[in-house]
Amino acid sequence: MSAEAGDDLADRLPDVAAVQAALDGADYLCDLDLATALFCAVRLPQPLLLEGEPGVGKTEAAKALAAALDTPLIRLQCYEGIDAAEALYEWNYPRQLLGIRLAEATGADVGEDQLFGREYLIERPLLQAIEHPGPRPAVLLVDEVDRADDEFEAFLFELLAEASVTIPELGTLRAAHPPVVLLTSNRTRDLHDALKRRCLYHWIDYPDLERSVAIIRRRVPAASATLAEHVAATVARLRSLDVQKPPGVAEAINWVAVLAALGLERLDAAAADQTLGAVLKYREDLDLARAAGLDGLVAGG
């Protein structure tokens, strides 16, 4: 990172409290521990691995950090079978073919260096992050890295350790402004120790009731305080059931948005039964909640 970029980040986020305040300004409420982890990821800089149950705000943390830094968020959504062509680059073969045919028609020579030059390169998210022109580094979100396979994890090592990538036809490309890298994992499988060694680590837990209410009210300002409190407490009770997909903060926000759209200012058993699909996403979970008794699960019911 250039000295100017480092100074700019230091001025923008001089300490952990500034990070927490900047995220608050981006409508992301976090505790001191997460703010500390993000501060270190920006200022060292070092990749940060965020783990936690689905829906606790891992992806939103990256979005809020990019907003706080006033810099682009570049997102790579991982999935089973993802490879370099989707993550880093691929060659524009149709355009290369047109170039060859045009050269043949005009009698010009087309060398390999021309066919595999930047003109024919399609940049994918990792390369976009490496090539970001600044002035501040981009925030690179490698989302749900646990969905990718071991080979893709190994493929990320060079980027995470050196802020560089290697393209055989072009050589090694190093970032002038190394991206702030956040990786997220829902722990569907264990990540390799070699990847973890290259990262800071932070576990995001479910927020307590008070913070849940604050988050919900920030994201759904039209909802009443009473409705937010009822939903936050009910979602906490639903998590205590043996459901396949415990609801996270994202589901709580969605549930409140649905109830507010229906004009409801409190949650009772009838409203919960009518809208339970906004928070539980498996039929078995719906049956389990109803069998447990919605009257006892809803807050203030």
Which among 168, 169, 173 has a CA at the least distance from the CA of 116?
Answer: 169
Q: What does the pLDDT look like over 137-170, one tens digit per residue? A: 999 999 999 999 999 999 899 888 889 998 888 8
- The pTM (predicted TM-score) of the whole model is 0.88
Q: Give the amino acid at 234.
A: T
Which among 3, 8, 137 has a CA at the least distance from the CA of 65?
Answer: 137
Distance, in Å, from the CA atom of 106 to the CA atom of 219, rounded to the nearest integer, reads 60
Q: What does the pLDDT look like over 167-204, one tens digit per residue? A: 888 899 999 999 999 999 999 999 999 999 999 999 99
Mean pLDDT of the 229-256 span: 94
Q: Give the amino acid at 72.
A: P
